[in-house]
Amino acid sequence: MRLKILQAGEPVLRESARLLTPQEIVSDDIQRLIRDMRETMHDAPGVGLAAPQVGQPLQLAVIDDREEYFKDVSAAQLAERERRAVPFHVIINPRITLGDDQARFFEGCLSLEGFSAIVSRARKVRVDYVNERAEPQSLEASGWYARILQHEIDHMRGALYIDRMETRTFTSIENWKRFCKDKPIAEKQ
């Protein structure tokens, strides 16, 4: 079932989400939520969706950066962003460790529909979490995948990308396409 994606201003987007117990994770309700979030993310389309974005203050997110999403992105831009396909997976109760190197790129959000801004984020991260079977996992990510993870984990902490953005770069998606899309990020102030 497709869920409603809440927009900025909804109180749940500014709350700290709660941890899930192993029993909750494997419950029918949470398994259904995961399926519905996956469908909602794909329909949007988006590369990640956190439970608070659909009104659930839970530390849970789904991620899937499909190759089809960047078919119109140049090879140079994919290389600059270190972007490659990421298969679908679920992160629950994540703990993130940020690397020292930073990368600046335009970022958008399904909960701030129609806007984008440059956000500086760690280029590399390590995330310890549990999956949808309540099994402990860890991963290391870099580039665009690291950005997705940080963005979704921010949602679980009640933060939006606008809290981290370079305010002078905030723009509508329409104007981003007109003025920024095909330019190197180094040219943006």
**Contact 2/43 with Cβ under 8 angstroms?**
yes
Q: Give me the residues paired with residue 91 across strands.
A: 61
Beta strands 86-98 and 102-107 are: unpaired
Chain-centre distance of CA 41, in angstroms?
Answer: 10
Cis peptide before 45 (omega within 30 of 0): yes
From CA 140, how far away is CA 171, in angstroms rounded?
A: 31
Catalytic-role residue among 68, 135, 152, 187: 152
Give the 3-state secondary structure of residue 178. helix
Does 152 participate in catalysis according to the annotation? yes
**Contact 77/84 with Cβ under 8 angstroms?**
no
Q: Tell me which residues are annotated as active site.
A: 152
